[in-house]
Amino acid sequence: MRDRLAVLPQYLLPKQALTRFAGSIANAQGGSVTTALIRRFVQRYNVNMAEAANPDPASYASFNEFFTRALKPGARPLADVPFVCPVDGAISQFGAIERDQLFQAKGHHYSTTALLGGDSALAAQFANGHFATIYLSPRDYHRIHMPCDGTLKRMIYVPGELFSVNPTTARGVPGLFARNERVVCEFDTAHGPMALVLVGATIVGSMATAWHGVVNPPRSGEVRVWRYDDGPAIKLARGEEMGRFLLGSTVVLLFPQQAVQFNADWAPARPVRLGEKMADAAN
């Protein structure tokens, strides 16, 4: 009850307008004002600039340029395992998909079909499979990388709400990750199909992928689909960048049955880093 009361104001806030405003501020090239904003953010969230390829806050022309900053080469070595963690963040939940139900938080489940924009055929491939949900906080590195080698088959933009995706909201808003705006990326891998879902949130100005660029805006209110199985194959290697958030959010990964065996050290709320062991192959 406490969590539901805590998130009640989010139902009333003009989230779309706030997101557009935040996006305009984040994209602005405001010189010393932008630098001051970046320095304040670094201090407020204890951002480790020493690991950034460009550690000087004054060198970033916009807040978004800073927010999507690259890391120094070698800052995130890849574990020698089939599946590596695709982001810096904290584990929200992970484990088995029960038929088509994913665990969100105590008292809340949601379906793979809803998460994937109503595509029941795609969702059926992950029945009784496994999932992992990872939350990226404001201080984290906000580029998303491939957990394993994959060939892109399809990208789906699904319009939706823009609730926050922090742990309190995950506990307080039913079906949160299937209600928010999201970009679904469908891959073929050596271990079967994989869906990597980028979930939007309040003040997440946009989401982008390496092959397409910025996906949103525009926010048309309609599902949009791009297919990649008819032209030259788009192949991405394990650890290669596949996308980024312009302001932070959450990723959800879906795997089929007998594809992954998660790292025994993983647990909900545990911090994780790009490149660490996520899972062994189960088959």
109 is catalytic: no
DSSP structure string for 123-135: HHTTTT-EEEEEE
Beta 143-145 vs 150-158: how paired, if at all? unpaired
DSSP string for residues in 38-66? HHHHHHHHT--GGGBSS--GGG-SSHHHH
- In the annotation, is 88 catalytic? yes
- Number of Cβ within 10 Å of residue 273's Cβ equals 15
Q: Which two tokens stand for residue 133?
A: 């949900």
> What span, in angstroms and rounded, lies between the C-alpha atoms of 69 and 83?
24
Catalytic option among 88, 100, 119, 140: 88
Question: Which among 62, 164, 206, 249 is annotated as catalytic?
Answer: 249
Q: Out of 145, 164, 191, 206, pick the active-site residue.
A: 145
User: Phi/psi class of residue 186: alpha, beta or left (left: φ > 0; alpha: ψ in -120 to 50)?
Assistant: beta
249 is catalytic: yes
Catalytic residue list: 88, 145, 249
